[in-house]
Structure 1
Amino acid sequence: MSPGGVIEAAIERRKTLVHYAPDPGDLSERFVARNVDVTFRELPPGGPGPFVTVREDDDFQGAVSVESLEVLLAPPHASAFDHDDVSPTYGALLELLDDTVFASLSRRQLLATTREFEDRAWRAGDGLLHVGFQTTEALEPQRALYRRLAAETDLDVHVHFTGDSVDLDDITVHEDSECAADYWFVAFDGPDDSQCALVAEQRDENDYEGAWTYDPDLVAGVLEDVTAGA
C-alpha cells in the first residue's frame, strides 16, 4: 500500500463525533476539513462539562472532554522523548481518532504526532522505523535525535529524503526516495501492539492532508511500499 493508500483507506472509515454541550460553539466548523461528521446534542443546565463521543459505523469508540480535544486541534510543542511535553492525553486522542483523515494539518500538528510515534518506538526499543523527511533541510534539525534513537536502542532506523547525501552513524539512509518527495511519513513496526504510521501529503507551505493508523496491516503496507520506493 502506498503512503497515499493510508489516506484513501481512512476516508472509507469515516467517523462521527457527537458533541454534547450547552451550546454548539464552533467545534463543527473546526472539524469541517476533517473526515468526520459532527452532530450537536444540547446538555441541560447543571449537567456534566462539554464532551464528545466518537463512533465509527455506529459503533461506539470512546468519549473525551472538549477540553482534551483542544489538545489535538492545537497540540503542545514536543521535544524528543520528553514525556512532559507530549501529554498522555495526546496519545490517547490519536488512538481514539485512529484512521481519521485531517484535510488541514499544520507542521506543528504533524510534528507533535511524529514525536508521539518516535516516542512509541523509543519506549519499545526494538523494531523497524522508517521516517520520510522530504528534504535534507528538514532532516538536519532531527539529526541528533535519530542518532540517539539508533545508538541507544535496538531499532533498525531508516531515513528517507531528497537532496544532498548525509552521513548518519548506525542509520540506513535512502537518498532521492520516491515516497519522500511527496509525503511526510513515519512508519513503525515494533513488538506486540506498538505498530503505527503517520502519512501526510503537502498541499501548501504549511498545510497538509494526513492520517494516522495503528492497524498492523496498513502499517506493513506502508513499510513495504516505502522500502520498494527507497
Structure 2
Amino acid sequence: MTNGLFDLPEGTRVPPRRIVLLTGPSGSGKTSLTRRLGLPVVELDDFYHDHDHPGLPRRFGIVDWDSPGSWDSASAMDALLALVTTGRSDVPVYDIPTSRRTGTTHLDVTGSRIVIAEGIFAAELVAACRAEGILADAICLRRPRLVSFWFRLLRDLAESRKPPLTLLRRGWGLLRDEPRLIQGWVDKGCRTASPGQAERDIRALLAD
C-alpha cells in the first residue's frame, strides 16, 4: 500500500494532495456538505463488497451494511494513495438497491490539494492515512439523532434503497446505536463537528 514517495524518511514527506476523512451517522449530512464544498470526493460507500461476498456479517435478516466487515478497506486505501500520489484512480461504482458493483469510474483530482473521502467507514482509514502522512483532517458529523433518522429515511425511501420495512427496522436500530457509533469513530481518531463547523474548517484548509 506504499510507493516511492512514502518511502522517504519520516518528516520529509510532502504529498501533493491530502485527504479529509468525513464520517458520521447515515443521514447526518455528509453528502450535502461535500456538494457545498465542491471539492473532489471519493464515495467510500462504493467500496462495499457485493452481497454474495463470502462471510459478510448479518443483522435484521440481511447483510449488515453498517458493519465494517461488509466493506473493502484495503481497496479504498489503495485508491486514496493513488489519488494523493498520481492524482488519478479507477474506483468502483456500487449500486445500493442491488448490493453489487456495476462498473468503475475514473477520478482525476490533479487540480486539487484537498480530497474528501466520505462515508460511514471513513474512520477505518484514519490510522493508515495518518501513518502515510496524507491526513489533513478526520471529521465526524454530528447533529440531533432524530434529524439524522428523518433525513436518512426520506433519502432511502426516495432512492428505493431497500424495502420500506427493512429501512424502518434499520433506521430504528441506527437511532439506538448512534451514540455508540459516534464514540467508536472518535476512538479511531475522528473529531466531532456540526455540518456548519466542518464546512468552515475544511474551507480553512484550502486557504493554508
Same fold (TM over 0.5): no
**What's the TM-score, normalizing by structure 1?**
0.27
**What's the TM-score, normalizing by structure 2?**
0.29
Q: Which has the higher strand share?
A: 1
> Which protein, 1 or 2, shows the higher relative CO under an 8 Å CA cutoff with sep ≥ 6?
2
Larger radius of gyration between Structure 1 and Structure 2: 1
Q: Which has the higher helix share?
A: 2
